[in-house]
Amino acid sequence: MKRFFPLLGVALLGALTWSCDENARLANEITGVWTGTIENFTDNSTITASIIDTYDFMPDTCTARGQHAGPLTIAGMISTSTQVVGDNSLIEPINISTAAKSVIKGSWTVVDDDELLIRLDPGSLDITIDPKDVAVNTNPYNPENVQVDSLRQAFCANIEISLRQALLNRYASVNHLDDVKVKGQLMKYEINDIDHTLARQQ
C-alpha cells in the first residue's frame, strides 16, 4: 500500500504533462491568419449583410497560470443592402448597398486539447465605410429627384449604427470554439453545435 500514493502521483503528473503538451500543440497549430467562408447576418430590422471574417491568432504568450493564450484580431469584409423609405408615399423606397470593413480585438486561450475560449472586446469594434462605396439606386422616373450625393454621409452614419448592433450580436456568440481540429491548411471547429471552417492564409 505504501507504493500506491507515489505511483498515483506519477500517473497524475504524466496525465497533466500529456494535457499540457496537447494544449501547447493546439496553441502552436492555430497561430497564424485564417479566413472563413461568406456568412449572412442581419440587425433583424432594416439591414442585411454578408461577411468574410479573417482571424489573426497571434503567437502563444504563456500566462502566469501556465495557460496557452494570445491576442486575437478578427477583421471582416462586409457587403450590405438596405432600403430607405421616404415620408412621401409617392416616392419609392431607395435601395442602398455598400462595402464596409470591421475590426474587433480580443484574446484566445486553450482550455483543453480541442477547445478555445475566445474573449472579444465589444469596445474595440471599429467599422469603416467609405461614402464613395455607397451605391444608391433610385427610380429615374421618380417625380421627385432625390439628391443622392448630399445624403451619402447620412446613409453611412445610419448603416454604421445598424452594422454595429448586428456585428456585436454576431460576435457575442463567438466565445467558445469546440472540437477544434487543424488538418493541413484547414481549421474546423464548432460554435453552438454548428460547424465552421477556416483556411490558413500564407
pLDDT at 195 over 90: yes
| pTM more than 0.95 | no
Task: Dig out the grid coordinates for 35 from the structure.
Answer: 479566413
DSSP 59: P
Q: How many angstroms separate the CA atoms of 194 and 188, rounded?
A: 11
pLDDT one-digit tens code per residue, 155-172 = 888 899 999 999 999 999
C-alpha cell at 26: 493546439
More confident residue, 173 or 82: 173
pLDDT (average), residues 4-10: 44
Cα separation of 54 and 115, whole Å?
19
* CA–CA separation, 164 and 81 (whole Å): 15
Which has the minimum average pLDDT: 28-32, 89-93, 112-116?
Answer: 89-93
Q: Residue 123 and residue 119: Cα distance in Å, rounded?
A: 12
| pLDDT recorded at residue 110 | 94
Neighbours of 98 (CB within 10 A): 24
Cβ atoms of 159 and 167 closer than 8 Å: no
Look at 4-13, 27-36, 53-62, 85-94 and tell me which has the smallest mean pLDDT: 4-13
pLDDT band of residue 5 (cuts 50, 70, 90) is: very low
- pLDDT bracket for residue 13 (50, 70, 90): very low
Say what the pLDDT of residue 16 is: 38
**Is 4 a residue whose pLDDT tops 70?**
no
Q: Work out the average pLDDT over 49-76.
A: 88
Nearby residues of 37 by Cβ (< 8 Å), 6 or more positions away: 52, 197
Residue 31: phi and psi, rounded to 5, are: -60, 130
The pLDDT assigned to 85 comes to: 66
